């Protein structure tokens, strides 16, 4: 299968390891990976803030460049939800409405692509550590992804998964919300970090780098020993 | 003058720093969640119950005109006087008019968020009447001269020590930490008021069109006394509270109790069909029902968000909302707080003045998942944001998104921006969390991730 990777701007510029891990895993599984250079952002910041015409300026080229893709795989439930769920709304009653609808079923979040679409859960990964999993809200509630990342983690050798209290509670990132309402965003993140700390885990794992950027930012500032890591980076470890 | 958004931000800053306050709310709501999950498990299928409830409310709201007329006709047929209030001022006028015509002096009230919405207590007190809240939580916040903290649990922000202190000060009671004794103190103060009150005012949980009845659920029995003892009874109800059929209560009563308070069914469930009929031994001599619009019909006219009128005010969305849990109820500065408040307040009180409530959400969707009548809450927040930006766009914000689009759509410029980010990283570290730091909203409490040597795309290029 030819897999088109969608690498969101912040993964590209801040977490290249996540993208590299995805490429390695998908190639190991025998797929051809392509990654169009021009695609950099799904347009979510403007969309979530209510600036839909500005969001369309970013999203329309994405839609055009992805229209011939066989499948589109994204390592972020949030950007995945944007393409899969919100593009049809963003482009409703525009000339691109059909294209947005046609793209939607081809879009997959990475963990769900592996576990649900390809039916692969054992990637031969090894990661000897105690981890807890944070469900990114968009992956969980817009895309309905709950078991896929856990099924993948269960097969990782040496890894112990402990669930934290309120794993499904938002970490407080919320895109532009984190900068517009930093005190609320921070308070939510503190609750998340406390829940993770109670498990005694070494790592907080998620399938969304944006949540992890927020949580890691707080943990580093607090001087906490807990680290964050994206699911793809664990699955690529041998 | 401070605006609503400034007040919201200031209050949010205070509460998010108050670990005791946040801890209190979070502990209480964790207990609620455990109880709710246990009661939810008693439903054969909670999800299909939600679907059925949503469909019933859809029918009720989409045929509101016929159901309201049916409700009013049936009520009037048994001697109730039904009044139509277009807005808050009209509703206050109608109620004050009734009170005045009865020559009343003192008024007893049971819990009614609609009364909060129209600031009824204020109006009655200004007109010289004594008003007493009979719901324990409401009684407590009334003594503190503050609005309810939560639409279902008005005094959830207070500990028993806070309440003990308040009762000592306001009622001159002896000090106690026992919840039962505290309840008894309030009850003694209230019982006298029931007997002397001339008018009882209640809210309503449901208005049944088929039979012309008001359904009220409560845990303390105070609404029954409020309705039964005074000679005149007034019920203030939002027009969206209509249910088509009496049998709908078979689903809605347990659903409200489960979603709202983690109960199988609320302690007291009463239906009011009218004033005392010939041959009946109790009940009010006169019964008035005031149907309140107050811009609900404007929401009804919006097909995209009409389902927000399905709300049964159970409070479930507040209880699971991480924003509510960290800023508390009073921060919202409006009657309906939490997710549902953030959705409807901009409709009921003005989009531009209240759009910050729709903005202050991470859009996590926990509310939508919890709502027993399946209101698309968090997506309505998005729609409010869109409508607000169309109506009065922020010059700077729009410019920022346009600039962003300009850069991100041009690979050369985007590469340059990444390079610039890497080069200025040492400088950013130097000015971190100072007024010079453009990323201060982030860096005030959070570290920025380090810029890697190579971006993904650079790696990808090199590899090819
Ligand atoms: S919006 Fe839904 S969950 Fe929130 S109070 Fe109304 S009915 Fe309950």
Percentage with pLDDT > 70 across chain A? 100
Helix (H, G, I), strand (E, B) or coil at A34: strand
A62 to chain B: closest CA residue: B409
CB-based contact A127:B352 (threshold 8 Å): no
Helices B160-171 and B136-143 cross at an angle (nearest 10°) of 60
What pLDDT does residue B438 have? 85
Residue B255 near ligand 1, beta carbon < 6 Å: no
The string of pLDDT tens digits covering residues A123-166 is 999 999 999 999 999 999 999 999 999 999 999 999 999 999 99
The string of pLDDT tens digits covering residues B388-410 is 999 999 999 999 999 999 999 99
CB-based contact B366 A174, cutoff 8 Å: no
Please give the average per-residue pLDDT across B93-98, as a whole number. 98
- Ligand 1 atom nearest to B313, measured from its CA: 5
**Site from A173, A183, A226, A228 to mutate, B interface, most B CB atoms within 10 angstroms:** A183
What pLDDT does residue B329 have? 98
- Rounded to the nearest integer, the mean pLDDT of chain B is 95
Could you tell me the two tokens for A2? 């030819």
The alpha carbon of residue A17 is apart from the nearest alpha carbon of chain B, in Å, by 7
Could you tell me the two tokens for B296? 């609900």
Residue B256 near ligand 1, beta carbon < 6 Å: no
CATH number of the domain at B109, please: 3.40.50.10420
Q: How far is the CA of B259 from the centre of ligand 1 (A)?
A: 9
Cα dist from B322 to A186, B339, B356, B362, B369, whole Å:
11, 10, 16, 9, 13
The string of pLDDT tens digits covering residues B298-357 is 999 999 999 999 999 999 999 999 999 999 999 999 999 999 999 999 999 999 999 999
Helices B19-40 and B4-17 cross at an angle (nearest 10°) of 90
Residue B381 near ligand 1, beta carbon < 6 Å: no
B275 and B413 co-located in one domain? no
Cα dist from B393 to A50, A150, B399, whole Å:
9, 42, 10
Rounded to a whole number of angstroms, the distance between the first and last alpha carbons of chain B is 61
Q: State whether residue A33 sits within 8 Å of chain B by CB.
A: no
Is A2-116 a domain of CATH 2.40.50?
no
CB-based contact B233:B200 (threshold 8 Å): yes
| Domain ranges for chain A | 2-116, 121-235
B404 and B283 co-located in one domain? no
B278 and B404 co-located in one domain? no
Q: Which domain holds residue B188?
A: 42-294
Q: How far is the CA of B39 from the centre of ligand 1 (A)?
A: 17
Residue B260: how many CA atoms within 13 Å on its side-chain side? Answer: 25
Distance CA B211, CA B273 (A): 8
Ligand 1, from B151, B373, B381: best to mutate by most atoms within 8 Å of Cβ? Answer: B373
| Residue B1: pLDDT over 60 | no
What pLDDT does residue B433 have? 83
Q: Which residues of chain A have pLDDT under 70?
A: none
Instruction: Provide the number of structural domains found in chain B.
Output: 2
Q: How far is the CA of A158 from the centre of ligand 1 (A)?
A: 44
Residue B324 lies in a domain: no
Residue B16 lies in a domain: no
Residue B459 lies in a domain: yes
Residue B266 lies in a domain: yes
Q: Which of B243, B262, B294 is the C-terminal boundary of a domain?
A: B294
pLDDT level of residue B424 (50, 70, 90 thresholds): confident
B238 and B114 co-located in one domain? yes
Q: How far is the CA of B338 from the centre of ligand 1 (A)?
A: 9
Q: Which of B265, B294, B323 is the C-terminal boundary of a domain?
A: B294
**Closest CA relative to residue B72, chosen from B225, B218, B184, B214:** B214
Q: Which residues of B touch A180 (CB under 8 A)?
A: 359-360, 441
| Residue B430: pLDDT over 90 | no
The alpha carbon of residue A16 is apart from the nearest alpha carbon of chain B, in Å, by 4
The alpha carbon of residue A138 is apart from the nearest alpha carbon of chain B, in Å, by 7
Please give the average per-residue pLDDT across B179-186, as a whole number. 95
CB-based contact A169 B393, cutoff 8 Å: no
Q: How far is the CA of B318 from the centre of ligand 1 (A)?
A: 8
User: Would you state the torsion angle of the CA atoms of residues B435, B436, B440, B446, taken in this order, to the nearest 10 degrees?
Assistant: -100
What pLDDT does residue B192 have? 87
B167 and B52 co-located in one domain? yes
* Cβ pairs A/B, distance under 8 A: 189
Rounded to a whole number of angstroms, the distance between the first and last alpha carbons of chain A is 24
Picking from B398, B448, B461, the nearest residue to A51 by CB comes out as: B398
Q: Which CATH number is associated with domain A121-235?
A: 3.40.50
Q: What is the DSSP letter of A29?
A: T
User: Is the dihedral angle over the CA atoms B21, B22, B26, B27 positive or is it negative?
Assistant: negative
B279 and B413 co-located in one domain? no
B74 and B186 co-located in one domain? yes
Please give the average per-residue pLDDT across B367-391, as a whole number. 98
| Residue B242: pLDDT over 70 | yes
**Number of other residues whose CB lies within 10 A of the CB of residue A13:** 23
A121-235 shares the fold of A2-116: yes
Ligand 1, from B54, B252, B317: best to mutate by most atoms within 8 Å of Cβ? Answer: B317
B130 and B267 co-located in one domain? yes
């Amino acid at each position: 299968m030819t897999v088109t990777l969608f690498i969101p701007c912040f993964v590209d510029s801040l977490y290249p390891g996540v993208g590299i891990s995805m490429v390695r895993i998908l190639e190991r599984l025998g797929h051809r990976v392509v990654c169009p250079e021009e695609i950099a952002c799904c347009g979510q910041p403007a969309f979530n803030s209510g600036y839909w015409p500005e969001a369309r300026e970013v999203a329309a080229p994405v839609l055009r460049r992805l229209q011939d893709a066989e499948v589109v795989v994204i390592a972020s439930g949030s950007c995945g939800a944007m393409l899969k769920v919100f593009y049809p709304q963003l482009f409703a009653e525009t000339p691109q409405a059909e294209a947005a609808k046609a793209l939607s079923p081809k879009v997959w979040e990475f963990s769900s692509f592996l576990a649900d679409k390809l039916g692969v859960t054992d990637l031969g990964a090894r990661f000897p550590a105690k981890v807890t999993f944070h469900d990114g809200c968009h992956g969980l509630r817009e895309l309905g992804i709950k078991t896929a990342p856990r099924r993948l983690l269960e097969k990782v050798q040496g890894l112990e998964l402990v669930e934290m209290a309120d794993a499904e509670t938002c970490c407080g990132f919320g895109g532009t919300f984190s900068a517009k309402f930093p005190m609320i965003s921070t308070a939510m993140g503190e609750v998340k970090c406390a829940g993770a700390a109670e498990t005694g885990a070494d790592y907080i794992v998620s399938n969304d780098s944006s949540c992890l950027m927020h949580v890691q930012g707080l943990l580093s500032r607090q001087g906490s020993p807990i680290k964050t890591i994206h699911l793809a980076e664990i699955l690529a470890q041998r | 003058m401070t605006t609503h958004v400034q007040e919201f931000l200031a209050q949010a800053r205070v509460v998010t720093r108050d670990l005791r306050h946040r801890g209190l709310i979070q502990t209480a709501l964790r207990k609620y969640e455990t109880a709710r999950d246990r009661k939810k498990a008693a439903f054969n299928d909670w999800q299909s119950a939600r679907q059925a409830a949503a469909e019933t409310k859809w029918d009720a709201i989409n045929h509101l005109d016929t159901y309201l007329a049916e409700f009013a006709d049936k009520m009037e047929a048994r001697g109730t006087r039904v009044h139509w209030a277009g807005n808050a001022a009209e509703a206050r006028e109608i109620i004050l008019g009734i009170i005045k015509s009865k020559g009343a002096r003192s008024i007893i009230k049971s819990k009614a968020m609609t009364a909060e919405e129209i600031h009824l207590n204020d109006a009655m007190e200004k007109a010289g009447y004594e008003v007493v809240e009979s719901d324990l939580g409401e009684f407590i916040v009334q003594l503190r001269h503050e609005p309810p903290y939560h639409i279902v649990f008005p005094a959830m922000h207070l500990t028993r020590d806070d309440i003990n202190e308040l009762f000592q000060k306001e009622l001159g009671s002896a000090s106690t930490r026992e919840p039962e004794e505290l309840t008894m103190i309030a009850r003694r103060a209230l019982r006298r008021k029931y007997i002397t009150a001339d008018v009882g005012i209640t809210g309503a949980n449901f208005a049944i069109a088929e039979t012309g009845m008001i359904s009220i659920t409560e845990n303390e029995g105070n609404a029954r006394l409020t309705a039964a003892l005074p000679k005149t009874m007034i019920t203030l109800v939002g027009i969206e509270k209509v249910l088509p059929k009496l049998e709908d209560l078979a689903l809605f009563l347990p659903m409200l109790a489960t979603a709202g308070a983690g109960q199988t069914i609320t302690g007291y469930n009463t239906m009011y069909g009218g004033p005392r009929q010939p041959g009946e031994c109790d009940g009010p001599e006169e019964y008035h029902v005031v149907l309140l619009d107050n811009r609900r019909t404007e929401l009804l006219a919006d097909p995209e968000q009409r389902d927000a009128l399905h709300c049964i005010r159970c409070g479930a969305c507040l209880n699971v909302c991480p924003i509510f849990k960290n800023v508390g109820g009073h921060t919202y500065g409006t009657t309906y707080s939490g997710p549902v408040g953030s959705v409807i307040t901009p409709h009921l009180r003005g989009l531009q003045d209240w759009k910050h409530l729709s903005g202050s959400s991470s859009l996590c969707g926990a509310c939508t998942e919890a709502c027993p009548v399946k209101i698309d809450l968090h997506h309505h927040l998005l729609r409010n944001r869109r409508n607000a930006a169309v109506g009065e766009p922020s010059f700077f914000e729009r410019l920022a998104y346009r600039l962003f689009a300009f850069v991100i759509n041009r690979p050369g410029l985007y590469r340059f921006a990444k390079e610039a980010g890497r080069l200025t990283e040492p400088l950013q570290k130097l000015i971190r969390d100072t007024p010079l730091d453009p990323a201060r909203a982030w860096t005030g409490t959070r570290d920025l991730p380090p810029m890697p040597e190579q971006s993904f795309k650079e790696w990808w290029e090199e590899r090819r």
